[in-house]
Amino acid sequence: MDKKALKELRKQKKDYNNEEEKSALNRFVMTIGIVLLALVLLYLFIGIFITKTITFGKDKDDVEETVAIDNSTILASKIFDQKEDEYYVLVFDPKEKVEDLTNYISMYQSKSDSIKLYKVDSTKKFNGDFIVEKDSNKNPTSYKELRIISPSLIKISSKSVVEYYEGFEEVKNVFKK
């Protein structure tokens, strides 16, 4: 073999090795690409069909919900813990429509000189320890002494009870003023 043929043979071997490296690199990149594509497709499939967290556009039936925070509803145990110096606390069952107490509440709150009104839902389990059927305590000094008949309206001034109205008629008369 002459030198020229030997040189040509070495060049072909070097080109073959370069082609083999390029081919291996191309296979590696293609494999990574296929795996990533499969993962993206799997994510989309799960998001669209299984968990339904991915949607394209809005459905006509979709209704946006807004969250309203009601700072006027408190727990019975927090009756004496409000920031105002003077306020009313109404303890009642909001589902009970005895001559619709909510109308009287709305009329009262619409007045410019109305005192802040907090509400206590007497049907809530957290308030159950303080709601009684009879023998209410009309002059409690702390939440531990609370025994309230629903509906009742309590006026708090300087962290103590100054007025106590029990029963629908008495509460309604306060709101009518």
Q: Which residues pair with 91 in a beta bridge?
A: 120, 152
* Residue 20: predicted pLDDT: 84
| Cα 126 from chain centre | 19
* Residue 118: predicted pLDDT: 93
* Residue 63: predicted pLDDT: 64
Band (pLDDT 50/70/90 cuts) for residue 153 is very high
**Above pLDDT 90, what percent of the chain?**
42
Distance CA(88)–CA(66), nearest Å, equals 28
Higher pLDDT, 48 or 177: 48
> Concatenated DSSP letters for 116-168?
PEEEEETTSGGGTTTB-SS---SS-SSGGG--BPSSEEEEEETTEEEEEEESH
Distance CA(52)–CA(20), nearest Å, equals 46
* Domains and their CATH numbers in the chain: 1-61 (no CATH), 76-176 (3.40.30.10)
What is the H or E stretch that residue 63 is in?
none
pLDDT tops 90 at residue 88: yes
User: Mutual orientation of helices 168-176 and 101-110 as an angle, nearest 10°?
Assistant: 30
Q: Average of pLDDT values for 74-93?
A: 92
pLDDT tops 70 at residue 97: no
pLDDT tens-place string over residues 2-46: 777 777 877 787 777 778 888 888 999 999 999 999 999 999 999
